[in-house]
């Protein structure tokens, strides 16, 4: 469309300069449909059902059903209630459905001005059709993709699509530029910064560039997070362990203990219940929810629970440059005038800072900044102490530089009022304004250094302009090259005293100029980004910059903030197109910067990185980032970014601070470490729950069951839950962000973890539990007797209550043991996690109620025992902690030796 002449455009679209008739517009609206982005139709029932049909949930449904079949309705109801509550809670947490399409639609303006049958009409934006003639004015948001037919200094903000902060000059002339660059095309969702124009619509709705991005976003499938995959593995492992042991002991009970098969079946169910951590799923869910809350307090809003842990697994962050690493505010950083390079301090649009060394070239600098400030269409606005720019950010940066030099541009504009303007043109690469000054006329010019210098005959000096020679030109070009190599955007500024009379055209005005100097500017990095990048590198996380900007500028920013240190490979979108996936994979393995890329390129890069085994996080704030945000393992959007980016992302940074990503990664790693802690904590209590059944089977029934199934459930779903949640709230251990990311091969349940849980700490807890069981008998007339003890009655129920209480009291010591991996528990501090004490109080209250409240005694088969017996129970409390402290001391000593 951009290469066609206007008559050809009109002919193809079946329209003309006066626009369509109302009847034809209505007919096309019926044929093409409304100018709207298709909305995602999500299935709420399917989303809800997913929380009840994953592997762990299915295991619990089956366990509850078997409990009913075995005549244990209390057990069945309890298990099903846990599953039901957990599923509803998970659905409620994750119900913030995908709204990317709706957000895209909301970015389209409500009304547009169109020309139909030669008359102007204000119509709803969703009624635009191909062939409509739309009228664009400053401040308008473009409603459809359209080809310009007329323009008057039209500048468009395309940052939502391209990620670039610099407004783009548009022209109605035919163009053969590549997609994303055509100067005569305006895109839906962009906005008019200045000037005006008339354009003919050629694409609406899903056929626009916005629509293409929407399609990419909509077709992204949901993938399981690392934690979800790990929980599936945990469920399979637990199921295998529980069912295998249950089956083995069923056979032992029938064959060795002489049980009837029906009784053996109930016995096996008890074993399975003992080994299935029913509280694991709700505990993980609640731990993740607490992680979400902590991240919200650190300016990171999480939309999906599993994202919390995924952050901690991140190995690569693909980040946009403009608005993410940078402030999206152009700032003059250097000025070159009369052979002197001056540093300009301060960033942003606030006129705070100074020009270092200005006094050495004061008059020349004064002339340059007045020229740059008057050859300018931008405005600075202060509101509530915040400075913003209206117009081109590059021009706004020049106004700020003039203000830092103490120049009153308003007074200068009154002294030298503008009488004409020669608009910036891509072919001329410069802009000129003509002013009346001291009874004559003066032209101020700014533009590309190379192009402007060709038109200069003189150079400004302290005394008077002197003629430029070849040496001067070489010096100026060398200075320009030096600034450009730093990734700065450089503009040349010049002037000319004009004759009193004459036609003001580029040919008559822009010649015999006096060169005033160079102004170099940059979009500065956010001040906190450098430290955040350093933390990422320390944590073993690679950062890849993906931007639509030029490679030189991108490399300069990347080097300045520490993303790259050696000489990086700079790949453009064209380079990526020419590469195979394997070649791209090899390039992405080293230091690389991706420049001049499209949304499709970003998406391909994410796919290749994921296929290479990386856990990929993608940051961004523009519409162009949405597909990659959606495809990544975790998408991170800026709070000030577009609605599309925020809706496609998994996490939103409310403070737009790249450093908040590092905080979120730390929280994610802490969540995973905490999940390992409370999984181990929960698994340890499985051992004393199973041992009574094992002893019962191997003794041929002569050792009565020291624990019943409902008492097991009171631990798994009662006393263990709040202490496990307390472990889920543990703060990150020191050095957590100096470790490499967790390997995909690393798992929560490992052989060493099972050995520690079952063979070491679990064995000690089993010893404590069985000793408490026998203690009750031995202090009530059965001293020294191990076999053929009563298997019913008040004494028996009191003995099982002692077993239950012993598990709970030793879990208190276990709770402190699990707070650290290798450090002594004393290093963690006794009061750094107040929830630990809440958990201890809660489990003691629960077990006391189960043992001493009559209604609960009936439900759980318990009976009260003398309060003096608690002395015996609390004597066992530190046993697990002391043994684990010895283990940790041995680990630390071994680490030092190696």
Q: Which of 599, 615, 52, 654 is nearest to 303 (CA)?
A: 654
Give the span between the Cα atoms of 100 and 896, in whole angstroms: 52
Interior/surface letters 298-330, b for 16+ CB within 10 angstroms, e for the rest: bbbbbbbbbbbbbbbbbbbbbbbbbbbbbbbbb
With H, G, I as helix, E, B as strand and everything else as coil, classify residue 402.
helix
Q: What is the DSSP letter of 545?
A: E
Q: Which residue in 223, 284, 226, 224 sits closest to 93, CA to CA?
A: 284
Dihedral of alpha carbons 160, 165, 169, 174, sign: negative
Q: Which residue has the tokens 């209480």?
A: 805
**Do residues 807 and 843 make contact, with C-beta atoms less than 8 angstroms apart?**
no
Tokens for 80?
């099903």
Contact (CB, 8 A) for 120 and 135: yes
- Other CB atoms within a 10 A radius of the CB of residue 65 amount to 13
HSE of 780, CA atoms in CB hemisphere, 13 A: 17
DSSP assignment of 199-259 = EEEEE-GGGSHHHHHHHHHHTPPP---HHHHHHHHHHHHHHHHHHHHHHHHHHHHHHTS--
Q: Where are the alpha helices (DSSP H) in 613-761?
A: 626-631, 643-648, 658-698, 709-714, 721-728, 751-754
For the chain, how big is the Rg over CA atoms in Å? 36
The angle subtended at Cα 762 by Cα 759 and Cα 766, nearest 5°, is 115
Q: How far apart are CA 725 and CA 65, in angstroms?
A: 28
Q: Which pair of tokens denotes residue 337?
A: 């005038």
**H or E stretch including 423?**
strand 418-425
Give the integer Cα–Cα distance in Å for 108 and 450.
Answer: 40
Strand partners, 356: 343
The answer to whether residues 486 and 336 touch, using CB atoms and an 8 Å cutoff, is no
Q: Does 481 qualify as catalytic in the annotation?
A: no
Q: Distance (Å, rounded) from C-alpha 225 to C-alpha 223?
A: 6
Neighbouring residues of 497: CB distance < 8 A, sequence distance ≥ 6: 440, 441, 442
Query: Residue 849: CB partners within 8 Å, gap ≥ 6?
Result: 856
User: What CA–CA distance (Å, rounded) separates 358 from 366?
Assistant: 9
Both tokens of 42, joined, read 């999500």
Tokens of 560: 């300045």
Handedness of CA 473, 475, 477, 480 (dihedral sign): negative
Q: What is the DSSP letter of 758?
A: I
Assign 656 to helix, strand or coil: coil
CA distance linking residue 594 with residue 618, whole number of Å? 13
> Which positions ≥6 away from 123 have C-beta within 8 Å?
111, 112, 114
The residue annotated as part of the active site, out of 126, 145, 151, 320, is 320
> How open is the CA angle 429-322-161, to the nearest 5 degrees?
75
92-129: b (≥16 Cβ within 10 Å) or e: ebbeeebbbbbbbbebbeeebbbbbeeeebebebbbbb
Spatial separation of the C-alpha atoms in residues 246 and 639, rounded to whole Å: 52
Partners of 431 in the β-ladder: 446
Q: Which of 94, 378, 257, 113 is nearest to 699 (CA)?
A: 257
- Known catalytic residues are 320
């Amino acid at each position: 469309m951009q290469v066609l002449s206007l008559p050809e455009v009109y002919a193809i679209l079946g329209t003309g300069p006066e626009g369509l008739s109302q009847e034809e517009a209505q007919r096309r609206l019926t044929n093409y449909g409304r100018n709207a982005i298709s909305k995602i139709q999500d299935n709420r029932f399917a989303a809800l059902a997913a929380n009840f049909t994953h592997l762990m949930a299915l295991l619990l449904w089956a366990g509850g059903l078997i409990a009913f079949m075995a005549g244990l309705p209390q057990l069945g109801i309890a298990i099903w209630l846990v599953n039901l509550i957990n599923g509803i809670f998970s659905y409620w947490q994750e119900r913030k459905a995908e709204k990317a399409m709706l957000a895209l639609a909301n970015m389209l303006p409500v009304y547009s001005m169109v020309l139909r049958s030669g008359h102007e009409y204000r119509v709803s934006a969703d009624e635009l059709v191909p062939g409509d003639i739309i009228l664009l004015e400053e401040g308008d948001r473009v409603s459809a993709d359209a080809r310009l037919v007329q323009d008057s200094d039209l500048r468009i903000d395309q940052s939502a699509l391209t990620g670039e902060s610099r407004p783009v000059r548009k022209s109605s002339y035919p163009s053969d530029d590549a997609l994303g660059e055509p100067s005569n095309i305006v895109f839906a969702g962009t906005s008019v910064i200045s000037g005006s124009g008339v354009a003919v619509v050629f694409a609406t709705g899903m056929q626009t560039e916005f629509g293409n991005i929407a399609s990419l976003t909509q077709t992204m499938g949901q993938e399981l997070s690392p934690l979800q995959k790990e929980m599936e593995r945990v469920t399979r492992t637990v199921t295998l362990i529980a069912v295998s042991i249950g089956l083995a002991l069923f056979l032992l009970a029938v064959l060795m203990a002489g049980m009837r098969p029906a009784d053996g079946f109930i016995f096996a169910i008890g074993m399975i219940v003992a080994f299935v951590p029913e509280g694991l799923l709700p505990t993980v869910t609640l731990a993740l929810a607490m992680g979400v809350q902590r991240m919200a307090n650190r300016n990171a809003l999480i939309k999906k629970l599993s994202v919390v842990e995924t952050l901690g697994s991140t190995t690569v962050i693909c980040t946009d440059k403009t608005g993410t690493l940078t402030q999206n505010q152009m700032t003059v950083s250097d000025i070159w005038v009369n052979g002197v390079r001056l540093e300009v301090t301060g960033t942003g649009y606030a006129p705070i800072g100074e020009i270092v060394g200005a006094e050495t070239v004061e008059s020349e600098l004064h002339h340059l900044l007045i020229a740059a400030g008057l050859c300018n269409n931008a405005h600075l606005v202060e509101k509530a102490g915040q400075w913003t720019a209206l117009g081109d950010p590059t021009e706004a940066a020049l106004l700020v530089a003039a203000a830092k030099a103490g120049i009153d541009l308003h007074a200068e504009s009154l002294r030298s009022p503008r009488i004409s303007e020669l608009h910036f043109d891509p072919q001329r690469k410069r802009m000129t304004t003509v002013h009346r000054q001291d009874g004559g006329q003066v032209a101020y010019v700014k533009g590309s250094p190379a192009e402007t210098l060709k038109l200069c005959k003189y150079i400004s000096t302290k005394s008077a302009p002197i003629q430029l020679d070849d040496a001067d030109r070489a010096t100026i070009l060398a200075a320009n090259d030096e600034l450009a190599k730093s990734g700065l955007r450089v503009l040349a500024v010049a002037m000319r005293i004009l004759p009193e009379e004459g036609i003001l055209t580029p040919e008559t005005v822009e010649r015999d100029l006096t060169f005033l100097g160079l102004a170099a500017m940059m979009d500065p990095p956010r001040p906190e980004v450098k430290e955040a990048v350093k933390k990422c590198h320390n944590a073993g996380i690679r950062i890849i910059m993906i931007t639509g900007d030029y490679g030189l500028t991108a490399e300069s920013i990347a080097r300045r903030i520490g993303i790259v240190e050696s000489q990086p490979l700079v790949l453009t979108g064209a380079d990526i197109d020419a590469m195979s996936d394997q070649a791209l994979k090899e390039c992405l393995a080293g230091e690389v910067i991706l420049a001049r890329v499209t949304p499709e390129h970003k998406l391909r890069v994410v796919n290749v990185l994921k296929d290479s085994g990386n856990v990929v996080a993608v940051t961004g704030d523009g519409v162009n980032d949405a597909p990659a945000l959606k495809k990544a393992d975790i998408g991170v959007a800026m709070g000030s970014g577009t609605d599309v980016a925020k809706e496609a992302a998994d996490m939103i940074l409310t403070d737009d601070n790249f450093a908040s990503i590092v905080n979120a990664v730390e929280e994610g790693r802490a969540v995973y470490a905490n999940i390992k802690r409370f999984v181990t904590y929960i698994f340890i209590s499985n051992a004393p729950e199973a041992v009574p059944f094992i002893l019962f089977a191997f003794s041929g029934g002569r050792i009565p069951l020291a624990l019943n199934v409902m008492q097991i459930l009171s631990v798994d779903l009662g006393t263990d839950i709040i202490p496990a949640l307390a472990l889920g709230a543990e703060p990150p251990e020191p050095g957590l962000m100096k470790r490499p990311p967790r390997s995909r091969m690393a798992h929560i349940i490992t052989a060493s973890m099972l050995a520690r849980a079952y063979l070491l700490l679990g064995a000690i807890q089993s010893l404590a539990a069985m000793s408490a069981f026998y203690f009750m008998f031995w202090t009530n007339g059965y001293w020294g007797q191990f076999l053929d003890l009563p298997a019913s009655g008040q004494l028996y129920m009191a003995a099982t209550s002692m077993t239950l209480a012993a598990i709970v009291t030793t879990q208190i010591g276990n709770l402190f043991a699990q707070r650290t991996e290798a450090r002594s528990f004393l290093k963690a501090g006794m009061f750094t996690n107040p929830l630990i004490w809440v958990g201890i109080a809660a489990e003691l209250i629960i077990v006391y109620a189960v043992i001493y409240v009559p209604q609960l005694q009936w439900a759980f088969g318990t009976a009260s025992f003398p309060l003096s017996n608690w002395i015996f129970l609390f004597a066992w409390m530190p046993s697990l902690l002391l043994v684990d402290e010895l283990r940790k001391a041995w680990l630390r000593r071994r680490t030092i030796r190696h």
